[in-house]
Amino acid sequence: TEQLRDTRIAVLDGLNANWGLKVLLDEISRRLETIRPGIRVSILVCDERDGRLYTGAAPSLPDFFNTAVDGLVPAPGSGSCGTSAATGETVIVRDIREHPFWDAYREIAEQAGIRACWSIPFEDSTGRVLGTFAIYRDEPSEPTQAELDLIGEFARLSGLAVQRVRADARLRQMAAVFENSREGVVITDLTPRILGINRAYTEITGYLEKEVLGRNPSLLKSGRQEPMFYQAMWQSIRETGHWQGEIWNRRKNGEVYPQMLTISTVRDGDGRPTHYVGVMTDISQLKQSEERLERLAHYDPLTDLPNRLLLLSRLEHVLERAERHCQQAAVLFVDLDNFKVINDSLGHPAGDALLSALARRLRGRLREEDTLGRLGGDEFLVILDYLERAEHAATVAEVLIRLLEQPFGLPSGQEVHIGASIGISLYPDDGRTVTELIKAADIAMYQAKEQGRNTYRFYTAGLAAAANQRLALEARLRRALANREFVLYYQPQIRTNTHELIGCEALLRWQSPEDGLVPPDRFIPLAEETGLILPVGEWVLRNACAQLKTWLDAGSPPLVLAVNLSARQMRQPDWIERVATILQETGLPPDCLKLEFTESMLMEQGDQAIARLQTLKELNLKLSIDDFGTGYSSLAYLKRFPIDELKIDRSFVRDIPEDPNDMEIAAAIIAMARNLKLSVVAEGVETQEQLDFLKRQGCDAWQGYLSSRPIPAAEFARSFF
């Protein structure tokens, strides 16, 4: 009894000292062998993974025997131990030589010199077999009951050792997981008071274990959540044993952060709650990248305004609310005037700087509930929520336009002025859906542009009809070039003194199958806007040059051909080369060609125009300023351009001799041209009186109905050559 007690103490000490299982089982075996000389002990342990029996300790048995037994599969009839492990029963084999369980092992038993084997299984608390405790003897024999009781005690001690060593290993693994987990873990009792935390908890919250032990986990509360939030959380834990969600907490350093938190109830063997475990992940990074993505998807990076996507969804919302409350709302479509010119002449970085400065200025003046966003390019949209009266939308439009009156300072130090045209549509009058309202505002914006820019217009049904017509016209215009529906008419230019024919102006006509002969005023502005003027203008130049070349070759007088150019053509980077190519291809001598520009085209392009006109002049052709007097060019400015001719606008000729003002202007232009050594042509001369006046003033040449309307080429040749 005493030695049994000593053995127990030794085993427990060994367990506390973290002895390995092999050492513990060896100790148990040797102690029993000492108590009972003449026996040899073998402890086999059942492997958790493959279920086979492996030698845990057998200090007095030869190695060859242990090796042969290693890996024994528990099964009835498979030796004493295989049988006892499989059945959970004690197996007594009195004489190995005669016992069928030993058939497979008889020979090695013989070699090891053993004749009897008694095997007692040991189990864990749930009754699962953990291994076998076997006694071998050299002579056939059976144990007494006292012997069996003693062996049973040692078997139980072996079972205890196996269980404890395994549980320790598992605990160490768990502790490693707990400590090394990237998730913060906190364990509390039911109070709840913190009983333990892991390293990640400290990393996330900034609190050390000693600072939180015994405290309520609510020490992390940020104050961002309502008491209701926590009530719902605890209710869920009480009812389901579990809660999961996102929660704002506060770190030790005061910083508030979002975390994902899972709280679970730990229960004892009877299902009674004993602890809570909280597992938390810091999701501030995740939240930040979510927010960044959200911003990228919904805000324009340049101006930081809502982008098209967000604008559309805001408008959708505003309309839903307006419908529910029977309220009005308005959409303002804002398009900058001549932004392209700024972008082209000052460069895109300047354009970008202007857009963001402008966005800041406009944003600052709107009500909180109104939305300003950027649709793209130089187009902005303003959504006015809770509009009391339609006039309010007009007031906002006026405010916006006035805000732009102050120039913008660019980072380069330059100052630029920019205007805007604004179209307004109203919910519910002008449309009930997002698409309808934006389209209506867009149409109204175009109207504002047409009516002089830097102004606003409300949408009307009439506007829609006009917009539709424009669209239809554009479609037909696109087909016109391919279908050869364009023709050129020619109008003679005559020298005032000698009455001789000195040239002609080529004027474009559209022979439309639907509308007959369409005058250029009705389609050229649209062609300019859509860019169609580029191919059309090139067609005009090539055809007119070819026509004059044909006439000259056929022996016509030496004429100069005037061709009108549009601003858009002049903005093409390679247009000078294009003119040169056409002259080359048609074979027309360059000094027979005169290009007509308007003042505004020159003003718009500024100093750049001077350089380009100079290059053009090197081709040896002539340059004329059309519609002169209607623009704002100063004399000093004009002097810098390499031009040959001024063309007095028809409006100053029309009211001669009724309007003395016009007569003075016409006379002044002629005098000025002389001073600048430019020739002057008057256009729109319809009466002899007008011609006489111009002649007296010294005007060099004229064109007008008095001599001829513009006429087709064939007719021109018949009448004048």
Closest distance to ligand C2E from the beta carbon of 467 (Å):
23
- Following CA atoms 634, 636, 639, 643 in sequence, which dihedral angle do they give, to the nearest 10 degrees? 0
In degrees, to the nearest 5, what angle opens at C-alpha 430 toward C-alphas 426 and 434? Answer: 80
Give the per-residue contact string, 634-673, with ligand C2E (x = CB under 6 A; - = no).
----------------x-----------------------
* Binding flag, residue 564, Ca ion (CB under 5 A): yes
| Residue 63: closest CA among 120, 108, 130 | 108
Site residues for ligand C2E, 503-522, by CB under 6 A, read 507-508, 519-521
Query: From ligand C2E, Ca ion, none, which one binds at residue 442 (CB under 5 to 8 Å depending on kind)?
Result: none
Position 337 contacts ligand C2E (CB under 6 A): no
Shortest distance in whole angstroms from residue 505 CB to Ca ion: 6
Residue 428 contacts which entry, Ca ion, ligand C2E, none (Cβ below 5-8 A, type-dependent): none
Q: Does 599 bind Ca ion (CB under 5 A)?
A: no
Burial pattern 475-513, b for ≥16 Cβ within 10 A else e, equals ebbeebbeeebbebbbbbbbebeeeebbbbbbbbbbebe
Out of 26, 282, 599, 626, which residue is the one contacting ligand C2E (CB under 6 A)?
626
x/- mask, ligand C2E, residues 522-541, rule CB under 6 A, reads: --x------------x--x-
User: Which runs of consecutive H residues, i.e. helices, occur in 414-517?
Assistant: 434-450, 461-482
The set of long-range contacts for 373-376, using a CB threshold of 8 Å and a minimum separation of 24, is 373/300, 373/305, 373/306, 373/307, 373/308, 373/310, 373/311, 373/314, 374/300, 374/302, 374/303, 374/305, 374/306, 374/307, 374/308, 375/308, 375/311, 376/308
Cβ distance to Ca ion smaller for residue 430 or 627: 627
The tokens for 480 are 């016109």
- Indicate the DSSP class of residue 94: S
Smallest distance from Ca ion to CB 683, Å: 5
Q: Pick from 457, 547, 557, 430: which is nearest to 503 by CA?
A: 557
Enter the DSSP assignment of 584.
Answer: H
Nearer to Ca ion, 337 or 627 (CB): 627
Tell me the closest approach of the beta carbon of residue 675 to ligand C2E, in angstroms: 24
Q: Which does 705 bind (CB under 5 to 8 A by kind): Ca ion, ligand C2E, none?
A: ligand C2E
40 vs 37, 104, 156, 359, CA distance in Å? 8, 21, 18, 95
Nearer to ligand C2E, 397 or 565 (CB): 565
Q: Using CB distances below 5 to 8 A depending on partner kind, what does residue 279 bind out of Ca ion, ligand C2E, none?
A: none
CB of 320 to Ca ion, least distance (A): 54
**Considering beta carbons, is residue 21 or 561 the nearer one to Ca ion?**
561
How far apart (Å, rounded) are the C-alpha atoms in residues 692 and 706? 12
Q: Work out what residue 229 binds among ligand C2E, Ca ion, none; the CB cut-off runs from 5 to 8 Å by kind.
A: none
Q: Contact, 594 vs 644, CB < 8 A?
A: yes
Binding segment for ligand C2E (CB under 6 A), chosen from 61-69, 383-391, 455-463, 681-689, is 681-689
* Least separation in angstroms between CB 563 and Ca ion: 9
577-596 positions binding Ca ion, by CB under 5 A: 596
For residue 240, how many C-alpha atoms fall within 13 Å in the half-sphere facing its CB?
A: 9
- CA separation for the pair 691, 702 (Å, rounded): 8
Binding residues for ligand C2E, total number by CB under 6 A = 23
CB-wise, 80 or 491, nearer to Ca ion? 491
Q: Confirm or reject binding of residue 705 to ligand C2E (CB under 6 A).
A: yes
Which residues between 429 and 488 bind ligand C2E (CB under 6 A)? none
Residues 459/440, Cβ–Cβ less than 8 Å: yes
Looking at the Cβ atoms of 388 and 521, the one nearer to ligand C2E is 521
Residue 335 touching ligand C2E (CB under 6 A): no
Chain residues 220-279 in contact with ligand C2E, contact rule CB under 6 A? none
Q: Which does 14 bind (CB under 5 to 8 A by kind): Ca ion, ligand C2E, none?
A: none
Residue from 95, 209, 644, 686 touching ligand C2E (CB under 6 A): that is 686
Q: Say how many residues make up the chain.
A: 721
Name the minimum Å distance from CB 648 to Ca ion. 9
- Grouping H, G, I as helix, E, B as strand and the rest as coil, residue 630 is coil
Residues 538-557: x where in contact with ligand C2E by CB under 6 A, - otherwise, as a string: --x-----------------
Q: What is the dihedral of CA 679, 685, 691, 697, to 10 degrees?
A: -40
**Residue of the chain from 337, 370, 627, 645 that contacts Ca ion (CB under 5 A):** 627
Nearer residue to ligand C2E within complex by CB, 430 or 627: 627
**Residue 96 phi, psi dihedral angles, 5° rounding:** -60, -35
Task: Choose the one of ligand C2E, Ca ion, none that binds residue 684, judging by a C-beta under 5 to 8 angstroms depending on kind.
Answer: ligand C2E
DSSP3 helix / strand / coil % (the chain, rounded to 5): 50, 25, 30
Residue 545 or 565 having the CB closest to ligand C2E? 565
* Binding of residue 64 to ligand C2E (CB under 6 A): no
SS3 annotation, 538-560: HHHHHHHHHHHHHHHHCCCCCCE
DSSP for 638-691 reads HHTS---EEEE-HHHHHTTTT-HHHHHHHHHHHHHHHHTT-EEEEE---SHHHH
Q: Note whether 680 binds ligand C2E by CB under 6 A.
A: no
Does the protein bind Ca ion through residue 700 (CB under 5 A)? no
Quick count: other Cβ atoms within 10 Å of Cβ 598? 21
Q: Least Å distance between CB 394 and ligand C2E?
A: 34
Stretch that binds Ca ion, among 90-98, 322-330, 522-530, 618-626 (CB under 5 A): 618-626
Q: Sign of the C-alpha dihedral, residues 710, 715, 718, 721?
A: positive
Please state the closest distance from residue 433 (CB atom) to Ca ion, in A.
45
Q: Of the two residues 397 and 663, which places its CB atom closer to ligand C2E in the complex?
A: 663
385/649 with CB nearer Ca ion: 649
Helices (H) and strands (E) in the chain, counts: 26, 27
| Contact status: 710 vs ligand C2E (CB under 6 A) | yes
CB 390 within 8 A of CB 330: yes
Which residue in 158, 263, 268 sits closest to 218, CA to CA? 263
| Residue placing its CB nearer to ligand C2E in the complex, 278 or 710 | 710
Q: Residue 275: how many CB atoms within 10 A of its CB?
A: 16
Query: Contact residues for ligand C2E (CB under 6 A)?
Result: 491, 507-508, 519-521, 524, 537, 540, 564-566, 626-627, 650, 683-686, 703-705, 710
Query: Would you tell me which residues interact with Ca ion (CB under 5 A)?
Result: 564, 596, 626-627
